[in-house]
Amino acid sequence: MSKHVLTTTFWWSFVFSLAINVAFTDATPIPSTLDGPFEPVTAPYDVSLRGSAVDLPDTDPRVRRRVKGFEPEQISVSLSVSYDSVWISWITGEFQIGNNIKPLNHNTVASLVRYGRSRFPLTHEATGYSLVYNQLYPFEGLQNYTSGIIHHVRLTGLEPNTRYYYRCGDPSISAMSGIYHFRTMPVSGPRSYPQRIAVVGDLGLTYNTTDTISHLRRNKPDLVLLVGDVTYANLYLTNGTGSDCYDCSFPQTPIHETYQPRWDYWGRFMQSLISKTPIMVVEGNHEIEKQAGNQSFVAYSSRFAFPSEESKSSSTFYYSFNAGGIHFIMLGAYVPYSKSAKQYKWLERDLADVDRSVTPWLVAVWHPPWYNSYKAHYKEAECMRVEMEELLYSYGVDIVFNGHVHAYERSNRVYNYTLDPCGPVHITVGDGGNREKMAIEHADEAGNCPEPSSTYDESMDGFCATNFTSGPAAGKFCWDHQPDFSAFRESSFGHGILEVKNETWALWTWYRNQDSTGKVGDQIYIVRQPDLCPGLITLPKGSFADI
């Protein structure tokens, strides 16, 4: 290694060490995973936090249609596999709901984006594809739905960490949007990262959701990860009547209805954020939305653009992408994941292709958590864990993000229910603010351990939840105290921010909605130890790994 490289490396090591020391001069030092494993902590529940778990009505100005004719709305940006490409998505034309709907012809409106590094002129142009989807019910009394025209255009040849301006639409019919902007991801490398990545789950569109997004926006993220359960449109009848528990209120309906306009309301509300900040989404159970013809996930797969083809996936349910020196793997919990399934085979190939000298951080995302100590959804994803955990562990996944449980929980490093310094940190952020109840009961509390048969979810391809065979809960289905894998848990709405500092240190911060924006609910440095753990590429001596 040259003298210049060594000098530069030690200089940056010194700078980061100084930053860590400054952080620890605060009255409350920020711990790191090197200090763990930690004794389990449960924050007391504030009964006032159920709050405004009421959906925004269709009369709210934030969800009303503001454009005319075929002008674009619900504009969003999502990433491709690397910094040099992004997707721009939008909708033109009005949705229809009723008994006599006539789908729009998607070929009548062009899918075009003009873009460039300067606002004027926009020197580049790209075209894409469009589609219309329908939600149909062959039963009397249920209203059918047809979407507006959904457009997806991929921009290529982009420079890293660069602001681009764009407008989208069809200039031939004078239906172009205003000018928006986004910033590309930094180039992949061990010292190159987006500054802040927001992680949020189980959003819906309630007044709690608006608080979550307001707090999230103030943190100015460079990327948003949405870990499933987007709109909760399936909690509505097709006439717009809602219910916190659909199956409880409407047990005799011939098919589980879903009110698709909630997707349009959500897209309008979110546009001000995701038209400039890329959003990457993975499906949750509320996106299943079964309908006539044995179709499911139609809205999810139609409305978002996914880098599936670019990441060599044949599905919108699982894909991967890079954001600087982080390789993200988005997995599907509600499609086959067994070792013989296409998803598992794809995951094996994707992990084998990861170069940890270029993308040191490996982050996995899916909806239902494997490590969950709440009564809600306890051990529901056990089959998925049994099939996939060993593979993820063998490749040294650093962090796992989940939702589904409507609360916050951060684990110690864990593998196969055993504390392990090489296991990932599992973080559940299903606390975005949807209309369903907050999870407040813990499976380890007296009387809260669910019956094993009740943990079965037919949409998760099996039942694997059994009693523990070893460890502190041997012979039992639940622990009788907060499990040692659970480092911190709290029932509050909020969101998280991940700030990767270099190839071995990352700061994770969780913010509660009820707090001021400057106050944190949970914070920890997650530290990789590539020299200690198998399956990881060892970094050169003198690098940040030695901090």
Active site residues: 377
**509 forms bridges with which residues in the sheet?**
497, 523
Strands across the sheet containing 279-281? 279-281, 223-226, 197-200, 494-500, 505-512, 522-527
Beta strand segments in 371-521, E: 399-402, 408-411, 414-415, 418-419, 425-429, 486-490, 494-500, 505-512
Which of 105, 535, 79, 114 has the alpha carbon at shortest distance from 352?
A: 535
> Residue-wise over 436-456: b if at least 16 C-beta within 10 A, else e?
bebbbbbbbbeeebbebeebb
Which of 386, 151, 399, 412 has the alpha carbon at shortest distance from 267?
A: 151
| Token pair of 258 as six digits | 């879903």
3-state secondary structure (DSSP) of residue 181: strand
Concatenating the DSSP letter of every residue in 481-534 gives S--TTEEEEE---EEEEEEE-SSSEEEEEEEETTS-TT--SEEEEEE--TTTST
d(CA 415, CA 412): 10
Contact 272, 73 (CB under 8 A): no
What amino acid is encoded at 367 in this protein? H
Element (H, E) at 149: strand 149-155
d(CA 356, CA 454): 41
Distance, C-alpha 288 to centroid of its chain: 16
How many angstroms separate the Cα of 191 from the Cα of each of 352, 359, 500? Answer: 22, 9, 9
